[in-house]
Chain A
Amino acid sequence: MDLFPLINSLRIALISTFIIFFLGIFAAYYIAKAPRVLKGVLDVILTLPLVLPPTVVGYLLLRVLGPKRVIGKWFLTMFGIKLTMMWWSAIFATTVVIFPLMYRTARGAFEAFDKTLAYSAQTIGLSNTYIFWRIRMPYCKQGIMAGTVLAFARALGEYGATSMIAGYTPGRTATISTTVYQLWRTNDDALAFRWVLVNMAISFVVLLAVNMLEKKEGKEQKGAA
């Protein structure tokens, strides 16, 4: 069994989760502070990829990143890098699709943050950067970790947008999900089933991790009260 799809899926999921970890947290942090109307509008826009069909996301991405489209063309002429149909193309797809998961869980965690902690920290002279990393983030740790793991799991299972923007090239752009589809289409049922098992095992472990994080959070909150 060629393990390329597993490695490719993992690297795509890891890279997009890493990007989304910071992007989601900072979006959540700054949008929580924004005026109400702006907050409402941005919230809808940023959550949209969660409810759109992945094929729509894929279509929109191709519209901007395709070799003849604005951004895709610019990258191709400037750096000679093709943004579509390469293994890294899938990162664009997964990043857009998992962004709302991270953004929403981080925002939920930040909204539960006790503001007086930040205020008292400011009055005793702690910098806002210190407060963010040493007080706010540890306070919201569980929620943010759960969001990260969930985003990773979703990235690992992304199919629709990925297949549109990265296609399926064995040994180059194949991921677990696109491989399963391809094997089933070509009647290689036994191998398809093995990949299904691999996928299910990973998802199982990830969801178990999310559950354990949530349980731990509940316990700690009870201890604090």
Chain B
Amino acid sequence: MALKIDIEKKFGTFRLQIKLNTEDEVLGLVGNSGCGKSLTLKCIAGIEKPDRGRIVLNGITLFDSEKHINLSPQKRRTGLLFQNYALFPNMTVRQNIRAGTLRDQQNEKERENKVDAIMDSFGLSSLASHYPRQLSGGQQQRTALARILVSEPQILMLDEPFSALDSELKFRMEKEVRDVIQRFGKTTILVSHDRGEAYRLCDRIAIVQDGKADEILLKEEWLLKSNSVIITTDSIPQNVILVSKEP
């Protein structure tokens, strides 16, 4: 269960040059906005096409410029949670989630059972017939995650998952997302500009700067290097807050 990326893409004067290997872990891509984190996710998902390089997920080549392989996003089996969750506004919660089951042939009963089970596990059963605009931010995020997981992706990618939430909800959803990642159990990539969030959720961290990710560090190493200290009220990990040391 591994992802290997080595890609290049030019966007005007911006140049993305990302080389990453990750396996059964939660990898954080941390950097300022415009550094290429989200673009990297889009390249993996097949929404953007790199100019050069290759992307291999669990032994399956998703993209290889030399061999002219470029699988469609539909065939890649990557789960990507967008910042705005991208729920279909004309479909109910249930229809949104059910849309995630349409890729594979299966009998109708099995499909409906699968949808029911995942809605139940995300606490969405009572909201089945609600439309996205009737949901809170947290409920929207849960629906989007359920829709992704029911489509059985081989990798989970979260693009700034908490940026659309207010701070109180952020905290609660972070805990939920941690559980979701754990349940998923495969390679997960989290894009964030919040170092504390990345520290709390990830195993290893890659700093992305000007389209490059030069090294991947264990989060503890990264902590030492990034000149930050942990401030925590108690030993519960979700209460960790990172603060830059005074120079």
Q: A116-B82, A119-B82, A224-B133 are in contact. Are A124 and B90 (CB under 8 A)?
A: no
Q: Which residues of A contact B99 (CB under 8 A)?
A: 121, 124, 126
Q: Which residues of A contact B79 (CB under 8 A)?
A: 123-124
The complex places the Cα of A75 from the Cα of B73 at a distance, in Å, of 45
The complex places the Cα of A124 from the Cα of B153 at a distance, in Å, of 8
How would residues 88 to 111 of chain B score, 1 for a CB under 8 Å from any chain A CB and 0 otherwise? 111000000001101110000000
The complex places the Cα of A121 from the Cα of B47 at a distance, in Å, of 11
A2 within 8 A of B: no
Which residues A196-225 have CB closer than 8 A to chain B? 223-224
Closest 9 CB pairs of A and B: A125-B103, A120-B86, A122-B73, A138-B90, A124-B151, A116-B86, A224-B133, A124-B100, A116-B82
Closest B residue, CB atoms, query A138: B90
Q: A116-B82, A116-B84 are in contact. Are A122 and B90 (CB under 8 A)?
A: no
Q: Which residues of A contact B82 (CB under 8 A)?
A: 116, 119-120
A112 within 8 A of B: no
Q: Which residues of A contact B142 (CB under 8 A)?
A: none
Q: Which residues of B contact A121 (CB under 8 A)?
A: 86, 88, 99
Closest A residue, CB atoms, query B97: A124
Closest A residue, CB atoms, query B72: A122
The complex places the Cα of A119 from the Cα of B46 at a distance, in Å, of 9
Interface size range of chain A in the complex: 10 to 19
Decide: A123 and B89 in contact? CB cutoff 8 A: no
Q: Which residues of B contact A139 (CB under 8 A)?
A: 89-90
A169 within 8 A of B: no
Selected from B84, B89, B102, B133, the residue in CB contact (under 8 A) with A125 is B102
Most chain B beta carbons < 10 A, residue from A124, A125, A138, A224:
A124
Selected from A124, A127, A130, A224, the residue in CB contact (under 8 A) with B147 is A124
Decide: A126 and B103 in contact? CB cutoff 8 A: yes
A117 within 8 A of B: yes
B208 within 8 A of A: no
Q: Which residues of A contact B37 (CB under 8 A)?
A: none
Shortest distance in angstroms between B195's beta carbon and chain A's nearest beta carbon?
26
A135 within 8 A of B: yes
Q: Which residues of A contact B147 (CB under 8 A)?
A: 124
Most chain A beta carbons < 10 A, residue from B74, B80, B104, B144:
B74
Decide: A126 and B102 in contact? CB cutoff 8 A: yes
Could you show 9 A-B contacts with beta carbons less than 8 Å apart? A120-B82, A122-B73, A123-B73, A123-B148, A124-B79, A124-B148, A124-B151, A126-B102, A138-B90
Q: Which residues of B contact A117 (CB under 8 A)?
A: 86, 88-89
B45 within 8 A of A: yes
Shortest distance in angstroms between A171's beta carbon and chain B's nearest beta carbon?
46
Decide: A135 and B90 in contact? CB cutoff 8 A: yes
Which residues A86-143 have CB closer than 8 A to chain B? 114, 116-117, 119-127, 130, 134-135, 138-139
Decide: A126 and B74 in contact? CB cutoff 8 A: yes
Which residues B37-91 have CB closer than 8 A to chain A? 42, 45-47, 72-74, 76-80, 82, 84, 86, 88-90
Shortest distance in angstroms between A5's beta carbon and chain B's nearest beta carbon?
40
Q: Which residues of A contact B45 (CB under 8 A)?
A: 119, 122-123
The complex places the Cα of A117 from the Cα of B96 at a distance, in Å, of 11
Closest A residue, CB atoms, query B151: A124
The complex places the Cα of A114 from the Cα of B85 at a distance, in Å, of 11
Selected from A116, A124, A127, A223, the residue in CB contact (under 8 A) with B133 is A223
The complex places the Cα of A18 from the Cα of B96 at a distance, in Å, of 31
Q: Which residues of B contact A123 (CB under 8 A)?
A: 45-47, 73-74, 76, 78-80, 148, 151, 153
Q: Which residues of B contact A224 (CB under 8 A)?
A: 89, 133
The complex places the Cα of A139 from the Cα of B104 at a distance, in Å, of 25
Selected from A116, A122, A130, A138, the residue in CB contact (under 8 A) with B102 is A130
Shortest distance in angstroms between B118's beta carbon and chain A's nearest beta carbon?
13
Decide: A125 and B74 in contact? CB cutoff 8 A: yes
Decide: A135 and B88 in contact? CB cutoff 8 A: yes
The complex places the Cα of A130 from the Cα of B98 at a distance, in Å, of 13
Q: Which residues of A contact B46 (CB under 8 A)?
A: 122-123
Shortest distance in angstroms between B55's beta carbon and chain A's nearest beta carbon?
14
Most chain A beta carbons < 10 A, residue from B78, B88, B100, B147:
B88
Q: Which residues of B contact A119 (CB under 8 A)?
A: 42, 45, 47, 73, 80, 82, 86
Most chain A beta carbons < 10 A, residue from B45, B86, B103, B151:
B86
